[in-house]
Amino acid sequence: MFTIKILGREKNLTWSSGHYVPDNIKCRRLHGHDYALDVEIQCNEISENGMVIDFTVIKNLVKPLIDSMDHKFIIPKNDIKYERENNYYVYVNDQLKLVINSNEAFVFEYNVGSAEYIAIFIYNKLKNELIKYLNNFKLYITVYEGYGNTATFTE
């Protein structure tokens, strides 16, 4: 079994985003974090060129995902009640939470913009791309929310 790993802080797989977690007393306030992403792949197979997969391929697949969130506010799509004049009107528990320009928002497909769901989001997108390159592999995605706080997802 081979294990390859990309350490996000060392390889510039980092971004900054704002978010809120509605059902948490402290985190329901609008706030942000500096994030980093580690990618780990375990695979029994190695290609003829002597690699499981080129690290650059992984970075090129991940970078657009994190760039799409960089310096944006993560808004769960179900919290957007309507859009008017390029602004999203965001409601939480039937109360207006914020109005934000659509260019400053990352519309998130999950109900909470937590590190755990960001890990799932990246995992699903990356896995769908990696199956074009790899067979029979295990993927681990670790999202750092600041320093020392991580959420890892795998199947």
Residue pair 11/24 in contact by the 8 Å Cβ criterion: no
DSSP calls for 99-124: EEEGGGEEEESSS---HHHHHHHHHH
Is 33 annotated among the ligand-binding residues?
yes
**71 annotated to bind ligand:** no
* Number of helices followed by number of strands (H, E) in the chain: 2, 10
Q: Are 8 and 38 in contact (CB under 8 A)?
A: yes
Rounded to whole angstroms, the Cα distance separating 113 from 121 reads 10
**Measured between alpha carbons, how far is 26 from 43 in angstroms, rounded to an integer?**
40
Query: Which residues are part of a known binding site?
Result: 19, 31, 33
Residue ranges of the annotated binding site for Zn(2+) are 19, 31, 33
